[in-house]
Amino acid sequence: MKLEEGKLILTEEELKLVKRANMFANSLYAGAWLHNAMKAKSLEEGADARDAKYYAECVDAYRKKNYEVI
């Protein structure tokens, strides 16, 4: 999963997690949940290096329908 110029680029498996995180009304809660889910599933190397704010921005991009599944 990567965020480039406000556009979220992710895989099908990551999209499933982002959709689940989207259920939280607050994007910071969604970002924290997504951060923990990414670490738990080991889908992304370096998930520890990123903070919940990064994942909150990913959820915001998804909510704006600004994403691409690869």
Please enumerate in sequence order all residues whose Cβ is within 8 A of that of 18, keeping only pairs 6 or more positions apart, or say none: 1, 8, 10, 34, 58, 59, 62, 67
Q: Strand 67-69 relative to strand 7-10: parallel, antiparallel, unpaired? A: parallel
Cα gap 70→50, rounded to integer Å: 21
Domain count, the chain: 1
* Structure token digits, residue 2: 């990567």
State which residues form the domain around 53: 2-69
Cα gap 48→29, rounded to integer Å: 17
What pTM was estimated for this model as a whole?
0.84
Each residue's pLDDT, cut to its tens digit, for the chain (70 residues) gives 899 999 999 999 999 999 999 999 999 999 999 998 888 876 565 556 678 899 999 999 999 999 999 9
